[in-house]
Amino acid sequence: MEDTAFSRLYVREIRISHEIPEESYLRDLPVVRHLLSTEGLALTRRVTFFVGENGVGKSTLIEALAIAMGFNPEGGTINFRFSTNDSHSDLYRFLTVGKGIRRQQDGFFLRAESFYNLASDIDQLDQPPSFGRSVIDSYGGVSLHHQSHGESFLSLVENRFGGHGLYILDEPEAALSPMRLMSLICRIHELVEKDSQFIISTHSPILMAFPGAEIFELSEKGIQSVPYQQTEHFQITRQFLNAPEKMLDYLLK
């Protein structure tokens, strides 16, 4: 599934093209420093993962990318326009996204914190007076508030993501059991076959196993492309699962 046909991707490159003010905290983020000191980050695969320690700048980067691609900062499709608070950074102002030749026909931005707001927004759109097919139908017909977090997320991906799309997901694993994560992998595979591109930040060693994906590890050193089995997530999880008692002894002594 390796995909070097750049023209088939919707996002091909992320660059910082405008001066970031000296006083901005953004300049201290390793991911931003890396982008400032390089020509930019080329995306060459249908599925790109951003991994790395908490606070390293994954959400900042993919939120800025999503906003630069026209999504609502709080998540959703390009059509969603609700706003509860302005908690996104202004990194998007300094970014230039190298786009593909064709524009995506579908898209979704899942922001880690705002799935609840999104669920409320869908319910709201279906309150009378509303016309035509109810929005909820494309989310499986049941209010996302009346499904568990994991169920509602999967029903969104299964019913609402249609292909030929750009899907930007910030830690989608939060609500999912290992089994459901594997269902998500299957669905991502189907959508990739239908000309979609995924850009995902994750801590899940299951999800990041997706075949043919590129994994960018963000750290103090900047941004590095790392093979799956060499990611810290994979190695630490394997070490733990191989000998939980040993690891716990070490941690708790």
Ligand X SMILES: Nc1ncnc2c1ncn2[C@@H]1O[C@H](COP(=O)(O)OP(=O)(O)O)[C@@H](O)[C@H]1O
Binding site for Mg ion (CB under 5 A): 58-59
Task: Supply the minimum distance, in Å, between the C-beta of residue 198 and ligand X.
Answer: 17
- For position 114 contacting ligand X by CB under 6 A, the verdict is no
Outline where the chain has alpha helix (H): 30-37, 58-68, 115-125, 149-159, 178-193, 232-242, 244-252
- For position 58 contacting ligand X by CB under 6 A, the verdict is yes
- For position 222 contacting ligand X by CB under 6 A, the verdict is no
Nearer to ligand X, 29 or 154 (CB): 29
Q: Which does 57 bind (CB under 5 to 8 A by kind): Mg ion, ligand X, none?
A: ligand X
Outline where 58-177 has alpha helix (H): 58-68, 115-125, 149-159
> Count of H helices and E strands in the chain?
7, 9
- For position 54 contacting ligand X by CB under 6 A, the verdict is yes
- For position 141 contacting ligand X by CB under 6 A, the verdict is no
Q: What is the 3-state secondary structure (H, E, C) of 9-29?
A: CCEEEEEECCCCCCCCHHHHC
Question: Residues in the chain, how many?
Answer: 253
CA atoms of 91 and 61, how far apart (whole Å): 8
User: How many chain residues interact with ligand X (CB under 6 A)?
Assistant: 10
- For position 56 contacting ligand X by CB under 6 A, the verdict is yes
Nearer to Mg ion, 100 or 172 (CB): 172
Q: Are 242 and 75 in contact (CB under 8 A)?
A: no
Task: Supply the minimum distance, in Å, between the C-beta of residue 77 and ligand X.
Answer: 22
- For position 188 contacting ligand X by CB under 6 A, the verdict is no
Task: Supply the minimum distance, in Å, between the C-beta of residue 89 and ligand X.
Answer: 6
- For position 57 contacting ligand X by CB under 6 A, the verdict is yes
When binding is defined by CB under 6 A, the residue of 25, 84, 221, 249 that contacts ligand X is 25
CA atoms of 120 and 18, how far apart (whole Å): 36
Closest to 156 in 3D by CA, of 143, 165, 170: 143
Nearer to Mg ion, 59 or 114 (CB): 59
Q: Which residues bind ligand X (CB under 6 A)?
A: 25, 29, 54-60, 89
